[in-house]
Amino acid sequence: MNSLDVLLQAKPVMPVMVIDHIDQATPLASALHKGGINVFEITLRSECALDAITLIKKELPNCLVGAGTVLNPEQLKQAIEAGSDFALSPGLTAGLLEFAGKTEMPFIPGVASPGDVMLALSYGINAMKLFPATQLGGEGMLKALYGPFPEVMFCPTGGISADNYRSFLSLPNVACVGASWIAPAALAREEKWDEITFLAKAAVDNA
């Protein structure tokens, strides 16, 4: 599997999950899975994130579990050791791209400009994360990038919501969107798993 396959399997939405406590991991992933989500992004923003990746992969082996907010080669190495199926970054550096190229891990870098896209393409990557999407111009930015880079597929993340995600998905160069709204930390803390399932199902069914 390569990074483009990951985005295509994530269609239409990839939940951006911040897991504060390890006991939230399986119930949260299960709630999303029940709503029709099979690809997860676990952000490395908490101390238990790597353990959560390992646990979710064990409990839901048929799902793809990725590490998000990977900022450097060491974090990418840790994600691989935790059993991640893929990894995403909010940006890109030559060092991170070079390290990713030495592994078999599908890597989806974040881009914010045509120059970023060209750098990623030079490393053989054609699946990217536009971040922060709405702040960079949203749909207008993606339409502009389609002209010179029709072979690139994007997962726009940042400012995507239930109100605008369908417009992003209608673009020919958008495979999926980063969906933080279907896995809000507040609902996870309150263990409102049925509500999270409802949000996930609504996002999938209405895409």
pTM: 0.96
CA distance 176 to 178: 7
User: pLDDT digits over 141-184, tens only?
Assistant: 999 999 999 999 999 999 999 999 999 999 999 999 999 999 99
| Residue 77 annotated in active site | no
Mean pLDDT of 79-99: 97
CATH number of the domain within which 123 lies: 3.20.20.70
Contacts 24+ apart (CB under 8 A), 46-53: 46/18, 46/19, 46/20, 48/19, 48/20, 48/21, 48/22, 49/19, 50/78, 50/79, 50/81, 50/82, 51/22, 51/25, 51/82, 52/19, 52/22, 52/24, 52/25, 53/79, 53/82, 53/83, 53/84
- The residue written with tokens 């609902």 in the block is 187
Name the pLDDT band for 1 (thresholds 50, 70, 90): confident
Q: Which residue in the list 41, 104, 192, 195 is annotated as catalytic?
A: 41
116-143: pLDDT as tens digits: 999 999 999 999 999 999 999 999 999 9
Q: Catalytic site residue 129?
A: yes
Q: Which two tokens stand for residue 32?
A: 């999303």
User: Which residues, listed in sequence order, are joined to residue 107 by a DSSP beta bridge?
Assistant: 87
Q: Does 59 score more than 90 pLDDT?
A: yes
Task: Report the greatest alpha carbon distance in the chain.
Answer: 46
DSSP 147: T
Domains identified in the chain, total number: 1
Q: Say which of 11, 34, 129, 191 is annotated catalytic.
A: 129
- Domain with 12, as residue range(s), is 3-205
